[in-house]
């Protein structure tokens, strides 16, 4: 087994930065798709996402910096600031250079975006409204860019056959959006506890679809779609590994039966992180989708669902980061 | 009519002009391409004649002392390749170092520009004051030639003994080699020893499929890997003589 040059700090960084970027993108798109909709429920969702987004991005980036060689083995004070060299240049061919700039912009934009939601009485059309919408327009592409970049970062190297595939950025993007949505779901479930009964009552008494609060339903349906895309991404990743030769086949073997990451990948990422949440979401969204019934999900179920998705996202990063480093080119 | 014919002449003249311009471009294009490739006046490379290698590790030791490489790390090392079942056996040696590739992935991925290819001689080097120690180049190198130096916190690797080479000396490993298995020189100079050796021997490079165009060439290298044992139905053992027990 090869040594892990990139360990837990990088795994946590990829997960947290992806989740924060996903939360920013989801929040911004919800806001732009009608912040005032569903009795301002949409705005409330956007607010949770906006307030959440910068925290994981900043914590994740801190992990990234702590893991740098010049930080771990610093012999003089100036070495703690060596990482600022990332911002004295722009290296077109280096995904990490792109990433540093995108991430820097993402942190600034998400912090300001969160600030526009900070006041408790923040509402659509208030004095922050135009700035908020402008940053939402920035946030959708920026959040997607961060999600994609985390995959490109790993995928750039022929020396790492497990990572060196074009589907990885897509997989990481989808996972970052679904973990971002899961983060929003958790905040919503925890902080909007007071009006659950009220909401349920309103749901049941609503006569037409127009009166119903569909914000939760839309969030869950979107999440279901993302989980479906994640399955597609993983399917294509494995399928194409077998359509390649040599090192690709050897690399994918670590997550297949007999491989050292087999259990964690299939039980952890696929079953716990994707299939279980998908089944739960299907059970609750299909009646609304097909029969127009009210969408009500118990709060505890909502919480555990989102937790599963978050754990799945973390385990996906773990499996990918480790698998890429314990496999390598075949032969010499 | 007159205006018509003048138009025609004009257009014909224009056509000729364009044609001439195109011809000139076509004629100068190969010249510019050629000058771009020969612009690098010196192109350092190394040939390792494994038939002359006795696996004594003098190169590894010389390198270690030359750079005071921290314990557990190596810029240059010698792998032993054992294969076969008695009495049909062979042991050969595969000295390893940075390949100073023509298209180095480590240089491409470096986010700060700390790792770069020296334009005048092709050596891939690291500017320690700029490197942040992110480890990206360590991941990107298909030859496992790089490591994170715990004393400097930055990436480190063989640099063909740049400090010696720039003074007209050969790298320390070449200097110390008992069997003269290592030949170092400028492959842009057709009269250099390395050019003559490259021209008159069957040579190979390691992992050419990585597309990096390595500049360390081997004569009679055994490319056998542990995975080949099953395929050849024989015994294969690779001794890396590094902290990393498996070949990277």
- For residue B86, is it within any domain? yes
Q: Which domain holds residue B234?
A: 44-239
Q: Residues B32, B141: one domain? A: no
Q: Is residue B17 part of a domain?
A: yes
Contact B173, B63 (CB under 8 A): yes
The reply to whether B78 touches chain A by the CB within 8 Å rule is no
User: Which residues 114-133 in chain B show a CB within 8 A of chain A?
Assistant: 114, 130-133
Question: Do the domain assignments include residue B221?
Answer: yes
Same domain flag for B21 and B92: no
What pLDDT does residue A76 have?
92
Say how far apart CA A169 and CA A155 lie, in whole Å.
8
B134 neighbourhood in chain A, CB within 8 Å: 68-69, 96
Instruction: Pick the residue of B70, B98, B112 with the most A CBs within 10 A to test the interface with A by mutation.
Output: B112
CA distance A121 to chain B (A): 43
Residues B134 and B27 in one domain: no
- Look at the block and give the residue holding tokens 């010499």: A332
Each residue's pLDDT, cut to its tens digit, for chain B (248 residues) gives 344 444 444 444 445 455 555 554 444 444 444 444 445 689 999 999 999 999 999 999 999 999 999 999 999 999 999 999 999 999 999 999 999 999 999 999 999 999 999 999 999 999 999 999 999 999 999 999 999 999 999 999 999 999 999 999 999 999 999 999 999 999 999 999 999 999 999 999 999 999 999 999 999 999 999 888 998 899 999 999 999 988 88
Task: Say whether A93 and B150 touch across the interface (CB within 8 A).
Answer: no
Q: Is residue B192 part of a domain?
A: yes
Q: Does a structural domain hold residue B49?
A: yes
Tokens of B131: 């490197």
Higher pLDDT: A209 or B49? It is: B49
Sign of the CA dihedral B194, B196, B201, B205? positive
Same domain, yes or no: B19 and B74? no
CA separation for the pair A47, A117 (Å, rounded): 6
Q: Is pLDDT of A20 > 90? A: yes
Q: Are residues B32 and B57 in the same domain?
A: no
Q: Which residues of chain B does A332 touch, with a Cβ-Cβ cutoff of 8 Å?
A: 94, 206-207, 223-225, 247
Q: Are A181 and A226 in contact (CB under 8 A)?
A: yes
Average pLDDT of the residues in A133-162: 96
B2 & B94 share domain = no
3-state secondary structure chain B: CHHHHHHHHHHHHHHHHHHHHHHHHHHHHHHHHHHHHHCCCCCEEEEEEHHHCCCCCHHHHHHHHHHCCCCCCCCCEEEEEEEEECCEEEEEEEEECCCCCCCCHHHHHCCCCCEEECCCCCCEEECCCCCCCCCHHHHHCCCCCCEEECCCCEEECCCCCHHHHCCCCCCHHHHHCCCCCEEEEECCCCCCHHHHHHHHCCEECCCHHHCCCCCEEEECCCCCCCCHHHHHCCCEEEECCCCCCCCC
User: Do B6 and B92 belong to one domain?
Assistant: no
Answer whether B148 sits within 8 Å of A93, measured CB to CB: no
B248 within some domain = no
CATH classification of the domain holding B174 = 3.30.70.20
Contacts of A327 in chain B (CB under 8 A): none
Give B105's contacts in chain A (Cβ within 8 Å): 157-159
A97 with B112: Cβ contact below 8 A: yes
Q: Answer yes or no: do B200 and B130 share one domain.
A: yes
Cβ of B106 under 8 Å from any chain A Cβ? no
**In this model, does residue A212 exceed pLDDT 70?**
no
ipTM above 0.85, yes or no: yes
Are residues B171 and B77 both part of a single domain?
Answer: yes
Q: Is position B246 within any domain?
A: no
B161–chain A nearest CA distance, Å: 23
**Same domain for B93 and B153?**
yes
Give the N- to C-terminal CA distance of chain B in Å, as an integer: 79
Are residues B142 and B159 both part of a single domain?
yes
Asked if residue B245 belongs to a domain, the reply is no
Number of domains forming the structure of chain B: 2
Burial degree of A320 (CB within 10 A; 0-12, 13-18, 19+) = buried
Q: Nearest to residue B44, comparing CAs of B108, B95, B98, B93?
A: B98
- Residue pLDDT, tens place only, B156-182: 999 999 999 999 999 999 999 999 999
Statement to judge: residues B92 and B23 lie in one domain: no
Domains of chain A: 8-326 (1.20.1630.10)
């Amino acid at each position: 087994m090869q040594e892990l040059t990139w360990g837990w700090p990088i795994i946590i960084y990829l997960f947290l930065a992806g989740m924060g970027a996903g939360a920013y993108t989801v929040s911004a798109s919800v806001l732009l798709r009608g912040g005032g909709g569903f009795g301002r429920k949409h705005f409330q969702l956007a607010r949770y996402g906006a307030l959440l987004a910068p925290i994981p991005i900043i914590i994740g980036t801190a992990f990234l910096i702590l893991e740098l060689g010049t930080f771990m083995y610093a012999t003089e004070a100036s070495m703690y600031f060596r990482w600022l060299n990332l911002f004295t240049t722009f290296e077109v061919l280096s995904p990490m250079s792109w990433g540093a700039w995108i991430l820097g912009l993402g942190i600034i934009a998400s912090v300001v975006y969160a600030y526009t939601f900070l006041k408790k009485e923040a509402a659509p059309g208030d004095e922050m409204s135009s700035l908020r919408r402008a940053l939402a327009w920035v946030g959708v592409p920026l959040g997607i860019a961060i999600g994609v970049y985390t995959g490109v970062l790993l995928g750039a190297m022929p020396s790492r056959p497990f990572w060196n595939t074009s589907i990885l950025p897509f997989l990481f993007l989808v996972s970052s959006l679904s973990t971002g949505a899961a983060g929003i779901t958790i905040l919503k479930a925890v902080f909007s506890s007071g009006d659950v009964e009220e909401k349920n009552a309103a749901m049941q008494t609503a006569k037409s679809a127009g009166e119903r609060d569909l914000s939760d339903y839309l969030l869950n349906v979107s999440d279901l779609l993302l989980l479906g895309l994640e399955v597609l991404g993983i399917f294509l990743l494995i399928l194409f590994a077998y359509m390649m030769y040599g090192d690709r086949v050897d690399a994918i073997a670590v997550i297949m039966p007999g491989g050292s990451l087999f259990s964690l990948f299939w039980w952890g990422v696929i079953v716990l992180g994707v299939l279980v949440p998908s089944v739960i979401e299907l059970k609750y969204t299909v009646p609304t989708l097909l029969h127009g019934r009210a969408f009500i999900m118990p709060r505890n179920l909502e919480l555990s669902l989102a937790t599963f998705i978050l754990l799945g996202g973390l385990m996906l990063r773990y499996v990918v980061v480790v698998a890429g480093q314990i496999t390598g080119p075949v032969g010499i | 009519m007159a205006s018509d014919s003048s138009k025609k002449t004009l257009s014909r003249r224009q056509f000729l002009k364009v044609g001439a311009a195109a011809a000139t471009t076509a004629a100068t294009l190969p010249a510019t391409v050629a000058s771009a490739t020969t612009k690098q006046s010196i192109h350092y490379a190394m040939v390792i004649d494994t038939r002359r290698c006795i696996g004594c590790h003098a190169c590894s030791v010389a390198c270690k002392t030359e750079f005071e490489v921290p314990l557990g790390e190596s810029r240059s090392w010698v792998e032993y390749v054992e294969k076969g079942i008695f009495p049909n056996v062979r042991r050969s040696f595969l000295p390893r170092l940075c390949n100073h590739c023509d298209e180095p992935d480590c240089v491409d991925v470096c986010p700060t520009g700390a790792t770069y290819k020296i334009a005048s001689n092709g050596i891939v080097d690291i500017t320690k004051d700029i490197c942040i120690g992110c480890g990206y180049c360590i991941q990107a190198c298909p030859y496992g030639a790089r490591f994170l130096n715990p004393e400097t916190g930055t990436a480190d690797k063989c640099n063909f003994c740049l400090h010696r080479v720039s003074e007209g000396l050969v790298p320390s490993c070449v200097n110390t080699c008992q069997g003269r298995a290592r030949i170092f020189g400028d492959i842009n100079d057709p009269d250099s020893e390395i050019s003559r050796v490259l021209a008159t021997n069957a040579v190979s490079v390691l992992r050419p499929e990585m597309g990096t165009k390595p500049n360390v060439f081997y004569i009679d290298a055994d490319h056998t890997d542990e995975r080949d044992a099953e395929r050849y139905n024989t015994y294969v053992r690779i001794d890396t003589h590094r902290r990393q027990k498996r070949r990277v």
